[in-house]
């Protein structure tokens, strides 16, 4: 695909670059298009790690998904949930969490798990997270823990000829 063909689609910085028609153009008719996520960033707090590394969580869907898209995936967690730390897009450090029992009135567990997860990242080192804007509970937890929105992104796997 030439840059001329891409520019002919009219992408811009106001949302057209994430429009369904443009993404389908980039991926091709049989390519894979992920979900559009808000991209957030924060700084690690360092210090003694507050979560244990887990070696028996590979059968969890979040871990499988992280291993499909990222490298150097490490898994941490406790009774509240799971945390993944991995090298993601452009080698950036990426963090994700998933609570074990969201429906059990786990108010505050996401925030406390995120706070503990930031101890796994060296002090002041940047860490990124991709959060679905439709998951308001998760988005509020990341924002409450000091994450700042910097944009949005969607992953594509273009069809191969």
Distance CA 83, CA 117 (A): 7
pTM, entire model:
0.90
Residue range 36-83, pLDDT digits in tens = 999 999 999 999 999 999 988 888 888 999 999 999 999 999 999 999
pLDDT tens, per residue, the chain with 161 residues: 788 988 899 888 888 999 999 999 999 999 999 999 999 999 999 999 999 999 888 888 889 999 999 999 999 999 999 999 999 989 999 999 999 887 666 578 999 999 999 999 999 999 999 999 999 999 999 999 999 999 999 999 998 86
Handedness of CA 158, 59, 47, 112 (dihedral sign): positive
**Per-residue model confidence (pLDDT) at position 79:** 93
* Region label for 73, one of left (φ > 0), alpha (ψ between -120 and 50) or beta (otherwise): beta
Cα dist from 161 to 33, 153, 156, whole Å: 17, 25, 15
**Per-residue model confidence (pLDDT) at position 66:** 92
Distance CA 96, CA 129 (A): 6
The Cβ of residue 62 has, within 10 Å, a number of other Cβ atoms equal to: 16
**Per-residue model confidence (pLDDT) at position 105:** 62
């Amino acid at each position: 695909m030439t840059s001329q063909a891409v520019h002919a689609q009219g992408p811009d910085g106001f949302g057209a670059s994430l429009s369904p028609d443009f993404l389908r153009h980039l991926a091709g008719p049989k390519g894979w298009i992920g979900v559009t996520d808000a991209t957030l960033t924060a700084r690690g707090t360092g210090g003694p790690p507050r979560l244990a590394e887990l070696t028996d969580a590979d059968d969890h869907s979040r871990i499988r998904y992280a291993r499909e898209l990222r490298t150097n995936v490490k898994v941490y967690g406790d009774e509240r949930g799971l945390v993944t730390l991995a090298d993601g897009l452009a080698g950036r450090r990426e963090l994700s969490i998933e609570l074990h029992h969201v429906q059990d009135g786990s108010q505050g567990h996401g925030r406390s798990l995120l706070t503990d997860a930031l101890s796994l990242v060296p002090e002041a080192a940047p860490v990124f997270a991709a959060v679905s804007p439709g998951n308001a509970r998760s988005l509020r937890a990341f924002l409450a823990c000091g994450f700042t929105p910097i944009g949005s992104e969607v992953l594509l796997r273009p069809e191969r000829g």
